[in-house]
């Protein structure tokens, strides 16, 4: 299992080669989007958000947003440290908690919040390729994390 600093170093090291590979295979825009998502995924949306970690600290005053996630998911479980499932749950959790906060702000009189939710869903709906590239970058950074931890499919899941 790699340390937090080793995860950070490998994320910074692999973001550009990953972006370049996607740019060469697909196109420049996809490379830039997925490379940025890879970087953000490794440093802010890491599988280690399930514990007190460097990525969690990066959220600063917002790290409390991840408290329910941390309490619900044990460290290095299949729900955080697995291909696809881990990224899906982190993105879904972030979207859900953002929606709840925006709805709470709306109920307090901030009228633009429902518009923000609508704008975000329209943005995703009208940019499917770019949205997919974001998911590809996030998932690739999770795979790097899992490989550095030495367990894309830990044996203990199968016991
Ligand atoms: Zn980990």
Cα-to-centroid distance, 74 and ligand 1 (Å): 11
pLDDT digit string (tens) for 7-63?
999 999 999 999 999 999 999 999 999 999 999 999 999 999 999 999 999 999 999
d(CA 6, CA 2): 6
Contact 81, 149 (CB under 8 A): yes
Average pLDDT over residues 76-84: 90
CA 47 to ligand 1 center in whole angstroms: 5
Q: How many residues does the chain have?
A: 159
Tens-digit pLDDT profile for residues 105-117: 888 887 677 788 8
DSSP 159: -
Look at the pTM and tell me if it is higher than 0.85: yes
116 Cα to the center of ligand 1, angstroms: 33
For position 146, what pLDDT does the model report? 92
How far, in Å, from the CA of 130 to the mean position of ligand 1? 27
d(C-alpha 70, C-alpha 62), whole Å: 14
Query: d(Cα 146, Cα 80) in Å, to the nearest integer?
Result: 10
């Amino acid at each position: 299992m790699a340390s937090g600093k080793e995860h950070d170093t490998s994320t910074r090291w692999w973001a550009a080669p990953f972006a370049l590979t996607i740019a060469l295979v697909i196109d420049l825009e996809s490379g830039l989007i997925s490379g940025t998502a890879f970087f953000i995924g490794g440093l802010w949306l890491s599988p280690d958000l399930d514990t007190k970690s460097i990525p969690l600290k990066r959220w600063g005053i917002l790290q409390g947003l991840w408290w329910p996630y941390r309490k619900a998911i044990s460290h290095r479980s299949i729900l955080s440290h697995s291909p696809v499932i881990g990224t899906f749950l982190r993105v879904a959790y972030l979207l859900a908690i953002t929606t709840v906060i925006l709805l709470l702000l709306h109920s307090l009189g901030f009228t633009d919040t429902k518009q923000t939710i609508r704008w975000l869903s329209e943005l995703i709906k009208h940019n499917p390729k770019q949205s997919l590239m974001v998911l590809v970058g996030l998932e690739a950074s999770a795979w790097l994390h899992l490989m550095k931890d030495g367990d894309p499919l830990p044996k203990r899941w199968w016991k």
